[in-house]
Amino acid sequence: MNDQVKLVLASGSPRRLALLNQAGIDPDLLMPADVDETPERGELPRRLAQRLSQEKAKLVAGRAKDAGMNALVLAADTVVAVGRRILPKPDLVDEAEACLRLLSGRTHRVYTGICLIDPRGRNATRLVETRVRFKRLSRDEINDYLACGEWRGKAGGYAIQGIAGGFVVKLVGSYTNVVGLPLSETLGLLTGQGYDVRAGWVERAA
């Protein structure tokens, strides 16, 4: 067992930590990565999720290395899109309202990029896509949802794990991907990199 290796979750999202914990994984350290999340001109949603997850992981892997840590760094980024249009992570009610109006009665896509960087700097990535269809939302439903505030800081202006779960009429793909971390693929990435993950310990596979 290589108990020198620390599993670092490069995230400040309580949802991502809760999802990892749910799967029996307890990261040794949380190191949020603040990267500029502005899409590049013409950047496709899937590419943005991939790029940002890599930037977050690289930033934190660099910090961990500078601190002399033997770190296995995991980062993720979630993007909500209607076609090629990337929805914001609203902080303002008007932005959130625009998102909900756009999502009402439509199918959208949620992409999460995940990136794992091992202590030698090698990285592995995945991009997971989930299709989500919302029912048609009435003006009252939109107003009530805006008043509840659950949309704040969430990609696309909603959180499926809360009240907005009641808006979903169809979901194709991973549910945990929508919440911010596709669990099956994340576990696959960890074990695929030569690590076994059991009850919070990260071990080199035999």
Ligand X SMILES: Cc1cn([C@H]2C[C@H](O)[C@@H](COP(=O)(O)OP(=O)(O)OP(=O)(O)O)O2)c(=O)[nH]c1=O
Q: Which residues bind ligand X (CB under 6 A)?
A: 11-13, 15-16, 32, 37, 56, 76-78, 80, 89, 110, 154-156, 158-161, 178-180
User: Residues 6 or more apart from 145 whose CB is under 8 A from it?
Assistant: 100, 137, 151, 158, 163, 164
Name the active-site residue from 26, 28, 36, 77. Answer: 77
**Is 77 assigned a catalytic role?**
yes
Composition of the chain by helix, strand, coil, percent to 5: 35, 25, 35
> Do 119 and 71 meet the contact criterion of CB atoms below 8 Å apart?
yes
Smallest gap from Cβ 195 to ligand X, in A, equals 21
For 146, the token pair is 């805006």
Smallest gap from Cβ 24 to ligand X, in A, equals 20
**Residues 114, 125: Cα–Cα separation, whole Å:** 6
| 61: nearest Cα among 2, 128, 7, 21 | 7
Smallest gap from Cβ 87 to ligand X, in A, equals 9
**Residues 19, 32: Cα–Cα separation, whole Å:** 16
Smallest gap from Cβ 33 to ligand X, in A, equals 6
CB closer to ligand X out of 84 and 120: 84
Q: Within 10 A of 1 (CB to CB), how many other CB atoms are there?
A: 9
115: phi then psi, degrees, rounded to nearest 5: -140, 135
CB closer to ligand X out of 56 and 126: 56
> Do 130 and 175 meet the contact criterion of CB atoms below 8 Å apart?
yes
CB closer to ligand X out of 156 and 182: 156
CB closer to ligand X out of 11 and 195: 11
Smallest gap from Cβ 8 to ligand X, in A, equals 12
CB closer to ligand X out of 32 and 194: 32
What residues are annotated to the active site?
77
